Amino acid sequence: MTHAYTGGCACGAIRYEIASEPVFQNHCQCRDCQRKSGTGHGSYLTFARAGVKHSGNATLWDMVGDSGNVKTRAFCPACGSPVYMTFAAMPEIFTVHAASLDDPGRYKPQVVTYAVRGYEWDFLDPGLVKFEKMPPV
């Protein structure tokens, strides 16, 4: 058994613990992730929702992503840190921001999504597979 993925916001008001391994790890260059991160991409680990434990009261913000589906961003109302996301079209998954991990070194990106929105100045590992949008399930 692997050790849990743990993390939360900068001030500690929101915490999570996930016992399973991620099913997907990606850098996303969609416009929403650029705006949220303040740079060229966001970095994420996605897990099966079963077994996810989280505590604290996140502020939730629903928006429509480039895919046309509603995604809910959860961030700390005290420190403003983005912590996790859920997706209306995929309620069985739970996505965390790589920088919210207690050990961000556990993040191992597999692909780049929405590369069609990427910028030349946003240098990502050239060995990663790039998808113009989201890869097929």
Q: Residue 133 has what pLDDT?
A: 86
Q: Are 40 and 31 in contact (CB under 8 A)?
A: no
- Local structure of 37: helix, strand or coil: helix
How is the chain split into domains, by residue range? Answer: 5-121
DSSP assignments along 98-134, one per residue: GGGBSSGGG----EEE-GGG--TTS---TTSEE-SSP
Consecutive 10-residue runs of the chain (137 residues): their mean pLDDT?
A: 89 97 96 89 96 95 84 96 94 96 97 94 95 81
Domain 5-121 annotated CATH 2.170.150.70: yes
Q: Residue 137 has what pLDDT?
A: 63
pLDDT digits (tens, 9 = 90+) for 87-120: 999 999 999 999 999 999 999 999 999 999 999 9
What is the distance, to the nearest Å, from the Cα of residue 101 to the centroid of all Cα atoms in its chain? Answer: 11
Task: Kindly report the backbone phi and psi dihedral angles of residue 84, in degrees, each rounded to the nearest multiple of 5, phi listed first.
Answer: -150, 170
Q: Residue 136 has what pLDDT?
A: 73
46 DSSP β-pair partners: 24, 95
pTM: 0.92
Q: Which residues contact 46 (CB under 8 A, 6 or more apart)?
A: 22, 23, 24, 25, 26, 93, 94, 95
Structure tokens at 114: 């929405």
What is the distance, to the nearest Å, from the Cα of residue 78 to the centroid of all Cα atoms in its chain? Answer: 20
